[in-house]
Structure 1
């Protein structure tokens, strides 16, 4: 039986080494390539044509969500499993909306990674148990989930980093964008969310469960 071929996309070499070691313990999956960022993943996918891409969301450069979008733009049959530290529902929803076929967290049991890959290659979707839920929203608050669902991948990345307290310059460095571009994104984001400050963006992120109080 042919092995499932996979490429690993994560900006931490140690994490990729752990993925590779974990997958090599079985005889069903073969890692055929690694990338540290989305731009490299797009090129590697063209070269390797793997059965599945296992990738993080938080990476320098174009980031995970935009990588998902571009991969599917080039090949609408591409299978993508997100393997992330983020367990909040807003990240799961964004990844699945972008086109990922599965989502698991890095603190999941080791066998979950293999199980998820196997399921997705069989044509199923796989989301780690407990990640998709419907927590009660606070009364009399805007439906921020609906607003964020309309954000582009870049807008979402800028929103997330600004909410975490990064300056516009640091966000620009992290995402490999110009400072003016980030400033324009920030203006658009605040306008859509009807807020004036990055502190208010942080409050929204807390409300959505993306950050701790």
Structure 2
């Protein structure tokens, strides 16, 4: 029996996933949550074998949560289920520890296949993501600038792009204001931008925030 945790801020999504997964004889949904903090509570509980995690959530988003989860339980398979196209986040999140990435518009059977694959200790990569990975290795410098950001830089970038202040980010991520300011400066330099409004425009243009 594969024990599954579902974390998504939309109750209707969680309900639909729970209903579908409960129809699979080898699955059991053992926990649910609506944000990154809930995800960490599920992980601390230790009653899950695979975690389904959304990216765009209030309080602590999926990207922040993924980093915290991998720090606490690096062996726990995390399947990202996102409303964003695979091209926007898949490669970055796989590099940062996710075991698979699927768009929410995928066939439910593909979610089941991915869960079973992850439970066996393997990654689940769609043909589209595999192509992105290969293209990224081949193209090198042709990759979008944000793919060159480190995990922490990406976290700070997305929070700034969504209008959070440096002090709020520092509190949320348990960092000093000086450290967050340093990450902000690195992000602006790597993306060749000058202000927080530029970061927001870049994130919207590249489909990284809604």
1:96 to 94, 97, 109: 94
- TM-score computed with the length of structure 1 as normaliser: 0.76
Show the counterpart of 1:52: 50
Deviation (angstroms), 1:100: 1.0
- Report the aligned-residue RMSD: 3.4
CA contact (8 A) 2:145 2:191 kept: no
Equivalent pair of 2:86/2:102 in contact (CA under 8 Å): no
Contact 1:144 1:193 (8 Å CA) reproduced: no
2:163 corresponds to: 167
Q: Superposition pairs for residues 46-195 of structure 1, below 5 Å?
A: 46-134=44-132, 145=144, 148-153=147-152, 155-160=153-158, 163=161, 166-168=162-164, 184=181, 186-195=184-193
Query: What's the CA shift for 1:130?
Result: 1.9
Shift of 1:186: 4.2
Report if aligned partners of 1:32, 1:48 keep a CA contact under 8 Å in 2: no
Helix, strand or coil for the counterpart of 1:69? helix
Post-superposition CA distance 1:33-87 (Å, at most 9, x none)? 0011112211222214311111111112232122122212112211111111111
**How far apart in 1 are the matches of 2:87 and 2:159?**
17
Q: Does 1:210 align with 2:197?
A: no
Task: State the distance in 2 between where 1:168 and 1:124 align.
Answer: 36
Residues 190 and 36 (structure 1), Cα distance of their counterparts in 2 relative to 1, 3 Å cut: same
SS in 1 for 2:128: coil
8 Å CA contact retained: 1:88, 1:210: no
1:10 is aligned, of 8, 16, 20, to: 8
Query: Aligned-pair distance for 1:210?
Result: 2.8
- Greater percentage in helix: 2
Residues 149 and 187 of structure 2 are in contact (CA less than 8 Å); yes or no, is this contact kept in structure 1?
Answer: no
C-alpha displacement at 1:22, in angstroms? 1.1
Q: CA deviation at 1:183?
A: 8.1
CA distance in 2, matches of 1:19, 1:186: 37
Asked if the contact 1:144–1:204 (Cα under 8 Å) also holds between the matched residues in 2, the reply is no
Q: Post-superposition shift, 1:133? A: 3.1
Closer/same/farther in 2, CA of residues 167 and 14 from structure 1, 3 Å limit: same
